[in-house]
Amino acid sequence: MKKTLGEKIIFAIVSIIFLVYALVILYPFFFAIMSSLKENGRAYINDSVSLPWPMYFGNYVKAFKELEVSNNNFFQMVFNTIWYAGGCTVLEILSSSAIAYCVCRYKFKLRNFFYGLSVFIMIIPIYGALPSSYRLFSILGLIDSRFYIVSAINGFGFSFLILYAYYKGVSWNYAEAAFIDGASHYSVFFKIMQPMAMPSVTAIAIMSFVGLWNDYSAPLLFMPNLPTLASGLVLYEKETQYMANQPIYFAGAIISIIPVVTIFIVFQNTIMQNVYAGGLKG
């Protein structure tokens, strides 16, 4: 079917708009890469668009040696990031999956209350709850502690809603057949329901890990002396002020985003197929 002249014009206008939008999004990455390849100093400010020549790829090697915050070198910040993002992801998924399954599949008086509570929690502004959260974590001794990751055991939020929708779409006949064969509630959850939900769980875990890897606000507030890559780069720029080696700073920023960009590229189909499609099922 041939397109009319009006449809071609609309398509061309929309294509131009999206092209401009894509360029606007990609420019900061281009700027960061070009800045990371320039000579030491802040010379990039005077000429932020041109390609650097010669290109100092050694800045990426120097980033591992020179980026240090609160007595944490680059490798320690990488470890802190993996501990924070990985630990929080595992604890969040486990708690959300268990609570979503119980609220979805077991009938009890507070069932609708817990579902409504999860929606209400997502409405509350994050910064509105920070003072009380900080006070609570201070009392529990979780400030500047690696055990801060236990705060991820909340069971509610985006992960809860997606998994609730998934479990709601799974036939209960699988569980009833297992109960007839003598399986316990724990066996049904861990051996039947959880394996069936693994595609959605994997997709949510990837999204959660990427978000936590890039999170800098929570580590800055709750783990100031255990900086992650995201919070460490913020602290590095703040501590060094105008003495910062900007090409090294941008080299560190580029290095820090390579893992999450790689993960997203590899698993983008998994995310689209299992999260959004799974959410629509419910």
Least confident segment among 74-83, 175-184, 248-257, 264-273: 264-273
CATH architecture of 66-281: Orthogonal Bundle (1.10)
Summarize the confidence of residues 139-143 as an average pLDDT: 89
pLDDT of 268 > 90? The answer is no
pLDDT at 66: 80
- Rounded to an integer, what distance in angstroms lies between the CA atom of residue 226 and that of residue 217? 13
Least confident segment among 39-53, 77-91, 222-236: 39-53
- Rounded to an integer, what distance in angstroms lies between the CA atom of residue 78 and that of residue 259? 11
The overall average pLDDT reported for the chain is 82
Q: Which residues contact 134 (CB under 8 A, 6 or more apart)?
A: 143, 221, 222
Q: In the structure encoding, which two tokens stand for residue 149, read together?
A: 């990751």
The tens digit of pLDDT for each residue in 235-246 reads 887 777 666 677
pTM, rounded to two decimals: 0.80
| b/e code 140-178 from CB counts within 10 Å (16+ = b) | eebeeeeebbebbebbbbbbbbbbbbbbeebeeeebeeb
From the list 24, 23, 25, 49, the residue with the least C-alpha distance to 35 is 49
pLDDT at 41: 60
The tens digit of pLDDT for each residue in 33-62 reads 888 888 766 545 555 566 777 788 888 888
- Rounded to an integer, what distance in angstroms lies between the CA atom of residue 130 and that of residue 144? 16
For the ranges 78-87, 118-127, 189-198, 270-279, the maximum mean pLDDT occurs at 78-87
The tens digit of pLDDT for each residue in 157-190 reads 788 888 888 888 888 888 888 888 888 888 888 8
pLDDT of 16 > 90? The answer is yes
pLDDT at 59: 83
Virtual torsion, Cα 6, 10, 13, 19, nearest 10 deg:
-140
- Rounded to an integer, what distance in angstroms lies between the CA atom of residue 86 and that of residue 65? 24
- Rounded to an integer, what distance in angstroms lies between the CA atom of residue 140 and that of residue 162? 30
Is 54 strand, coil or helix? Answer: coil
pLDDT of 279 > 60? The answer is no
From the list 242, 235, 231, 252, the residue with the least C-alpha distance to 63 is 252
- Rounded to an integer, what distance in angstroms lies between the CA atom of residue 229 and that of residue 213? 8
pLDDT at 50: 67
Question: Over pLDDT 90: what percentage of the chain?
Answer: 10
From the list 124, 126, 208, the residue with the least C-alpha distance to 160 is 208
Name the residue ranges covered by the structural domains of the chain: 5-63, 66-281
